[in-house]
Amino acid sequence: MGAHAEARDLRETAHAAQVRELTAAGVLVDPAWRAAFEAVPRHVFVPYFWTGRGAGHERLWGEDPDPERRARWLRGVYTDAPLATRLRDGELVSSSSQPSLMAKMLNALDVRDGHDVLEIGTGSGYNAALLCHRLGDEHVTTVDLDEEITESARTHLAALGYRPTVVTGDGARGCPSRAPFDRILVTCTLPRVPLAWLGQCRPGARILAPLSTGLIALTVRDAEFAEGRFLHTAAYFVPLRGATATPPAEPGVPHGLPYELVENERFQFMLLLTAGALHPREALDLWRGEGRPARERFGVTVTPEGQWSWLDDPQGPYVWPLGAAQSPDTA
């Protein structure tokens, strides 16, 4: 067997093993999405990635002349983990999302045959390829701010025969020329939901987006109203970039709170979601008083007059302005 054939077999074996692992983990229950993951190999979209932090960054590459480094690249690609695919001045600007999280998000998107989907955050193109396999190229539009990212994604997609509409532009503005959409899938963290997206959706459309370390699933009524709850899944993504994007609030580390709560993921979610509206001590008292609520009890309402997060009931007693300008008080 030649070296190229051996390398191909290793990649195919690793790809098949990952699909089996995701299926065994219960995140590929839909046969259509399982077929998509079987058909789309991740390594095509991640020809290299970065490991480590700060000055310790290391680039692993599928064509590295060192066989051990190639092996590390392949193991990394088919590990269920996010991979840093593009750095700028040492800062992460694009990544390939964790495959199990991608599968959960695609399942939660609840697509149907014939649906038109807008993806905000093209990244490597892997997610767009999965959508193309499920829906067909003509139903998939993907947007990213960075021309280098979109050009690279087009190349990766074309290598497997996928040709969705890939747009270089500000994702916060959506893609009005391709509207209306039945679904919007967002792969970057938001501080607020861009109102422009609602006007590009058909009534009843679904927007699935990372917000406050969670995933909000909004149902769009019309161009002026959307509402929904968070899924139970945690989600950490690169922030949305662009002229119309607002930097996400930083939760900080509140002083005077018990260490185990500062480190508690669900409490941190609430703390960030209510940033600027509740002081950390107020958030802690409410969180304890309401039985340490999980993400699914929180929701978001979007209107032209404002955006609000809420606990249990959008008309209930616990409603806060979303994406308030200030961060939680750390004093």
> Residue 291 to residues 170, 235, 281, 288, 295: CA-CA distances in angstroms?
40, 22, 16, 5, 12
Q: Cα–Cα–Cα angle for 141, 123, 20, nearest 5°?
A: 95
Residue 225 tokens read as: 């109203």
Distances (CA, A) of 156 to 143, 163, 271, 289: 15, 10, 39, 50
Kindly report whether the peptide bond that precedes residue 82 is cis, defined as omega within 30 degrees of 0: no
Nearest to 245 by CA among 162, 188, 306: 188
Cα separations (Å) of 139 from 118, 178, 328? 9, 10, 41
Please state at what angle helix 3-24 crosses helix 67-77, rounded to 10 degrees: 30
Q: In whole angstroms, give the CA distance from residue 123 to residue 127.
A: 8
Q: What angle is formed at CA 197 by the lines to CA 193 and CA 200, rounded to 5 degrees?
A: 165
Active site (annotated) includes residue 94: yes
Q: What is the longest distance spanned by two Cα atoms in the chain? A: 69
Q: Which of 94, 96, 97, 152 is catalytic?
A: 94
Active-site residues, by number, are 94
